[in-house]
Amino acid sequence: MQNRRQEIIGILLLIISLCILASLIGFNPSEEPRISPNVKLTNTMGIVGIYVSYGLIKLGFGYSVIILPLLGFVWGWWLFSHRKLENLYRTSLYLVGAMLLLSISLGQTTIWIYEGNPPHLLYSGFTGWSIANLFHDFLGGIGVAVILMGGWLLLIRGYFSWSFYHPFQTAGKWIQDKWNSFSLERELKKKEKSKQQHTQELISKIEEKEDENFTETLEKKEEISTVEEEKNNLPPNERKISNEINSINDNSIIEEKVEDRISDETENIEVGEMVEEDEVQLDKLKERKASIREYQLPTTELLDSPLNIQDGMSRDELLERANFLTKSLETFGVEGKVVNVHPGPVITLFEVEPAEGVRVNKFVQLSDDLARVMEASRVRVIAPIPGKSSVGIEIPNRNPALVYYKSIVNSEKFASSKSLLTLAIGKSTSGEIETLNLGDMPHLLIAGTTGSGKSVCLNTIVCSILYRAKPDEVRFMIIDPKKVEMTMYRSLEKYFLIRSADFDEPIVTTTENAILALKGL
């Protein structure tokens, strides 16, 4: 019974809408709504069409009333086809609002053009022109223009998912990125200048040292010539003993052998290159597209773009650092040689091959001493590297690079992952993108000292899930007794946060509510 009534109403709406549409299309401005046998009717709907079109266009809202029969046709078809009408309410309301705004806008335009004496009111209709004239009398032309512009902006922003702020935000971020790039380039130039000054100072010191050595060499040559003369005056047996003593005290041979050994060891070191992975545009993936009124996954434009500035260490600098590490180990009584160097954006990994008989735990005990000698904030020792016989020593770079979250999210590993719980963790010591699947972990515990990045890691985990999952696919239960770290996620209350009838706070902050929340899971 209900379906039959709905179909009948739908058919009636379709017929009425088609008749009104035909009347509006056949509208003739010269035809007046009166019945006279001497007047030839041109409207396709006859005298009824003349009255309908005259009332809607001339007396109503002008040509914008074409929206009404089209909207009625859609309503009739949806009733006839038994579709849900809930989705039409909002669209119909916005279309009627657009009709009113268009009529008033055309009426105000007519007032501006004809200064209150228009020849006709076909575009805006008498009603639209009257409302515009009323606004014009009270607010003036500028006031009406501001009101109409605001109305159109609200109408478009309310119906569509467009953001008027987004272009300004994009322009602001572009300017900020350019400024940051300029600032970093200027900072790098300062560093390069200081390096050159430091190098010049070293060269000056070396030249001074060479001058001193040259003077000492001349003095030694004079002494040697004196000694040689004295030695020639010695008996043959004493002269032979003197030659043997001089050969033992000749340090130049020893120094040459040491330098040859160090250069040979440096040549045998394999220096890897930092991995640079290709980026993909996460926002352009087909599965992330959403139609109007569907939940739209966040875009990567919300994130800071990485600055393309290279300030890594050269091969010579890495070899020099490896050589210095070897000497430092020998200073502490641990023999070994660096066999591989893996540079990364923040940390460089040195693979050290221990000498025969050297215990691995000796390297672990030297972590603090190595940090002091290498002038690093901390040194991490991996003893041994899994699957290898060498020991890994991770030393922070002197000029660590920033690892941007956007570069991880736009990576192939993160974009191609099928799991909704894929986490964009960061980059390894070699620069490779690292992702993890939270679904493979029964529990996850994050620990570390103050300032080591625990909060950043938590925010990265939450944001990684938000970039992949929709509210109907994942939910969060957030417990934050400190009321500091997780308060920013209160805005997710209507989307992702689990609510309970036992407590009224979106983010759990008390022990009692935490117990209730965990019991309810």
> What's the whole-number mean pLDDT along residues 407-436?
86
Q: Give 237 or 6, the one with higher predicted confidence.
A: 6
Residue 261 confidence class, pLDDT cut points 50, 70, 90: very low
Quote the pLDDT of residue 337: 86
pLDDT of 151 > 80? The answer is yes
State if pTM tops 0.95: no
Task: Say which CATH class 405-520 falls into.
Answer: alpha beta
CA dist., res. 47 & res. 37, Å (int): 11
Q: What percentage of the chain reaches a pLDDT higher than 90?
A: 2
Burial status of residue 480 (CB atoms within 10 A of its CB: 0-12, 13-18, 19 or more): middle
Q: Give 65 or 28, the one with higher predicted confidence.
A: 65
Q: Are the CB atoms for 279 and 411 separated by under 8 Å?
A: yes
Single out the residue of 414, 416, 435, 412 nearest to residue 425, CA to CA.
435
For 505-516, the pLDDT digits (tens) are: 888 888 888 888
Quote the pLDDT of residue 253: 42
Give rounded-to-5 percent helix, strand, coil for the chain.
60, 10, 35
Cα separations in angstroms, 166 against 154, 161, 338: 15, 11, 51
> What's the whole-number mean pLDDT along residues 363-391?
85
- In the chain, domain spans: 2-159, 266-279+308-401, 405-520
> What's the whole-number mean pLDDT along residues 492-517?
85
Q: Give 478 or 287, the one with higher predicted confidence.
A: 478
Residue 206 confidence class, pLDDT cut points 50, 70, 90: low
Out of 161-175, 284-298, 339-353, 456-470, least confident range: 284-298
Residue 464 confidence class, pLDDT cut points 50, 70, 90: very high
Out of 212-226, 419-433, 476-490, least confident range: 212-226
Q: Are the CB atoms for 420 and 473 separated by under 8 Å?
A: yes
Specify the fold of 266-279+308-401: Threonyl-tRNA Synthetase; Chain A, domain 2 (3.30.980)
